[in-house]
């Protein structure tokens, strides 16, 4: 029909059909846009470890009681609070492969958003209002929605919010929905440490609802007592873990000790990837809660404020704040949208769209939808370990040369080294952090990595003064793998090698990593791991390529003559193109 003011009933029906089509296309584009942030395909440095630890447990038929794959804490108790998540990742990798895992990650994320949408639809929230909010939620989830155990925490949080929503959506409490909370907590405590946050949300929510009942009527003490008992039962359910009460003893000690070295425990930083989306979500949440005419749930507001405060202190809690917004804000967004729409349309005539305008709108939105699909497809087909970020070539060199023993390595690379070289190689420290390492070991490895550089640190009073070189003697390591992005270890190893009585010799170097060996191990001809000069690689190249995760070393060892020829050529190229002063 021609564009212009609608004057007949037939034109009105046609205009409604056109607008319905546009709305459906817009919703489809919003849904596809939500999928894009959830396909973030960055490789987490702990993923190698999670899969390896589950594989170890399956092979041994039991959970290890002490730290594994380490020479600095071999007898230290290991509280593994991510057992179910690690088994899920290991079975997923074995059954689905790398790309199947990426697809499953997307499916979990979209499942969480779909659950929030379905609950909102039951309350009369329209798709456009809900999915617009969910797009902002997905953007806040993006930095955290990667392959690691915390995914199960987010899924568990969504399940908990759904149970609470169904239990309290009517005039009376639906206890059958609340009965699932203790079981959920028993599963969550064995999946990821963020069960503490989930337990806090559940307890505050249930106690808050009990208080609401008592304020409304003192005669409601029985259901209020039932909610309090349920909260206590949720706490008790967290004891259903392999360590029992010891899990809570460890948590009290670990969470009571600052961990400023870990980025996720810092506040959102201006200019960081989480800052802008988080601030935007806070502003939107505050605005719609103020402007909404829908009934405000005071328990929801208290929990939302508490989690928002925690998110402003520790950016790892941003994901939980986003999930709360996904489940609790849609009705308020719809309330504000309805008022704005009514006010904007007041006194205005209904205007129809011409065929050309409709065609342009349909093509534009369909094209946008297709582009989102292409982006999602590209991300689901790539899971690359960057040679510029990880020591892919260095670990391959260690494998080809059959270098084995005790390895000092930064914690971001350690679990990759474990997956690539264990059991022949053990590490000084890895990303399991305090779950299996005493604080003194944490401190000496952080000293080696960071030195006395100013920055957020917390060290045990028992660790003594900062000494970056202490890790080179503790446990008598055989090798040191240095991340050249860190100044302190690079400078320290160079200084150690120049000492007349220095104990370390460079056996491998590229633009990303250096591998130093103890001279008594790699320089002595009688050593079983002697590395002659013609088999050492020294250059400053950074490969622009990468390898598909897990990027483990090649298992086919080249012949000795081929390796000598390759090493000699690369070393000669480096020496011929590097000034004497820079070598």
Average confidence (pLDDT) over 517-542: 95
Dihedral, 427, 429, 433, 435 alpha carbons, nearest 10: 50
Q: Per-residue pLDDT for 10 more than 70?
A: no
Collapsed DSSP state (helix, strand, coil) of residue 113: helix
Confidence of residue 218 (pLDDT cuts 50, 70, 90): confident
What mean pLDDT is predicted for residues 519-542? 95
Q: Contact at 8 Å (CB) between 427 and 420?
A: no
Contact 131, 68 (CB under 8 A): no
Quick one: average pLDDT of 508-526? 96
**CA 53, CA 84: separation in Å to the nearest integer?**
11
Confidence of residue 152 (pLDDT cuts 50, 70, 90): very high
Q: Are 52 and 417 in contact (CB under 8 A)?
A: no
- Average of per-residue pLDDT across 415-423: 97
Cis ω before 423 (30° cut-off from 0): yes
Residue 346 pLDDT: 56
Q: Which of 214, 217, 123 is nearest to 170 (CA)?
A: 123
Q: Where are the domains of the chain?
A: 79-349, 386-582
Query: pLDDT tier at 583 (50, 70, 90 boundaries)?
Result: very low
Residue 369 or 207, more confident: 207
**Res 354: pLDDT:** 64
Cα 202 to Cα 209: distance, rounded to the nearest angstrom: 11
| Interatomic CA distance for residues 83 and 103, integer angstroms | 22
Predicted local confidence at residue 8, as pLDDT: 62
Which of 123, 142, 171 shows the shortest CA–CA distance to 35? Answer: 142
Residue 458's pLDDT band (cuts 50, 70, 90): confident
DSSP, residue by residue, 16-71: HHHHHHHHHHHHHHHHHHHHTGGG--PPPTTHHHHHHHHHHHHHHTS--SB--SBS
Q: Average pLDDT, stretch 15-30?
A: 80
- What is the average per-residue pLDDT within 462-484? 94
Question: Which of 10-14, 137-141, 181-185, 521-525 has the lowest average pLDDT?
Answer: 10-14
Nearest residue to 146 (alpha-carbon basis) of 95, 102, 188, 111: 102
Average pLDDT of the segment spanning 546-558: 75
Structure tokens, 551 = 């990027």
For residue 297, what is the enclosing H or E element? none
What is the tens place of the pLDDT at every residue in 81-92?
Answer: 999 999 999 999
| pLDDT in the model for residue 567 | 41
Whether residue 403 contacts residue 394, with contact meaning beta carbons closer than 8 Å, is answered with no
Q: Which of 3-17, 60-74, 302-316 has the lowest mean pLDDT?
A: 3-17
**pLDDT value of position 16:** 64
- Which helix (H) or strand (E) element contains residue 443? helix 439-450
Give residue-wise pLDDT tens across range 264-287: 878 898 888 899 999 999 999 999
Question: Is 152 within 8 Å of 84 (Cβ atoms)?
Answer: yes
Q: Looking at the whole model, is its pTM more than 0.85?
A: yes
Specify whether the CB–CB gap between 417 and 481 falls below 8 A: yes
Q: Each residue of 310-349: pLDDT tens digit?
A: 999 999 999 999 999 999 999 999 999 988 877 755 554 5
Assess whether pLDDT exceeds 50 at residue 556. Answer: no
Q: What is the mean pLDDT of the chain?
A: 89
CA dihedral sign of residues 323, 324, 330, 332:
negative
Task: Express each pLDDT in 558-571 by its tens digit.
Answer: 333 444 344 444 44
Q: At residue 7, does pLDDT exceed 80?
A: no
* Backbone φ and ψ of 517, nearest 5°: -115, 150
Residue 506 per-residue DSSP state: E
């Amino acid at each position: 029909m021609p564009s212009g003011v609608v004057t007949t009933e037939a034109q009105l029906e046609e205009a409604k059909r056109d607008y319905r089509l546009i709305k459906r296309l817009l919703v489809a584009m919003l849904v596809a846009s939500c999928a894009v942030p959830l396909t973030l395909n960055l490789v987490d440095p702990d993923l190698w470890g999670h899969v390896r630890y589950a594989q170890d447990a399956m092979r041994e038929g039991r959970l290890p009681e002490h730290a594994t794959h380490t020479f600095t804490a071999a007898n230290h108790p290991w509280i593994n609070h991510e057992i179910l998540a690690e088994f899920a990742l290991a079975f997923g990798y074995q059954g689905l492969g790398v790309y199947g895992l990426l697809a499953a990650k997307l499916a979990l994320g979209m499942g969480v958003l779909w659950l929030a949408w379905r609950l909102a639809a039951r309350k009369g929230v329209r798709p456009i209002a809900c999915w617009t909010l969910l797009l902002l939620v997905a953007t806040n989830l993006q930095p955290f929605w990667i392959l690691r155990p915390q995914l199960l925490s987010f899924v568990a949080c969504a399940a908990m919010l759904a149970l609470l929503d169904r239990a309290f959506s009517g005039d009376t409490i639906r206890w059958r929905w609340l009965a699932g909370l203790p079981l959920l907590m028993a599963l969550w405590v064995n999946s990821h440490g963020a069960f503490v946050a989930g337990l806090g949300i559940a307890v505050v929510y249930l106690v808050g609802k009990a208080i609401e009942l008592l304020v409304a009527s003192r005669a409601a003490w029985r259901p209020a007592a039932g909610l309090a008992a349920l909260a206590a039962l949720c706490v008790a359910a967290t004891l259903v873990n392999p360590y029992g009460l010891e899990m809570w003893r460890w948590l009290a000690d670990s969470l009571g000790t600052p961990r400023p070295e870990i980025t996720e425990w810092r506040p959102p930083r201006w200019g960081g990837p989480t800052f802008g989306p988080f601030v935007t979500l806070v502003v939107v949440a505050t605005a719609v809660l103020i402007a909404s005419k829908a009934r405000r749930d005071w328990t929801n507001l208290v929990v939302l404020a508490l989690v928002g405060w925690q998110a402003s202190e520790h950016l790892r809690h941003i994901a939980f704040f986003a999930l709360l917004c996904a489940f609790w804000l849609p009705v308020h967004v719809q309330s504000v949208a309805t008022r704005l729409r009514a006010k904007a349309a007041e006194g205005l005539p209904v205007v129809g769209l011409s065929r050309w305008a409709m065609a342009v709108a349909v093509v534009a939105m369909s094209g946008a939808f297709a582009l989102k699909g292409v982006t999602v497809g590209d991300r689901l087909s790539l899971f690359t370990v960057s040679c510029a970020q990880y020591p892919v070539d260095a670990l391959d060199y260690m494998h080809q040369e059959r270098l084995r023993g005790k390895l000092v390595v930064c914690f971001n690379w350690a679990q990759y080294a474990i997956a690539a070289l264990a059991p022949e190689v053990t590490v000084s420290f890895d990303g399991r952090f305090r779950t299996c390492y005493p604080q003194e070991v944490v401190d000496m490895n952080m000293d080696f990595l960071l030195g006395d550089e100013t920055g957020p640190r917390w060290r045990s009073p028992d660790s003594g003064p900062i000494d970056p070189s202490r890790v080179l003697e503790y446990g008598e390591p055989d090798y040191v793998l240095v991340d050249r992005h860190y100044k302190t270890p690079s400078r320290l190893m160079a200084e150690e090698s120049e000492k007349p009585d220095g104990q370390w010799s460079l056996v491998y170097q590229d633009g990303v990593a250096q591998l130093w060996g103890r001279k008594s191990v790699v320089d002595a001809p009688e050593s079983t791991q002697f590395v002659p000069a013609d088999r050492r690689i020294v250059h400053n190249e950074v490969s622009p390529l990468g390898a598909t995760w897990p990027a483990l070393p090649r298992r086919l060892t080249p012949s000795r003559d081929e390796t000598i020829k390759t090493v000699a050529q690369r070393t000669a190229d480096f020496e011929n193109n590097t000034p004497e002063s820079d070598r």
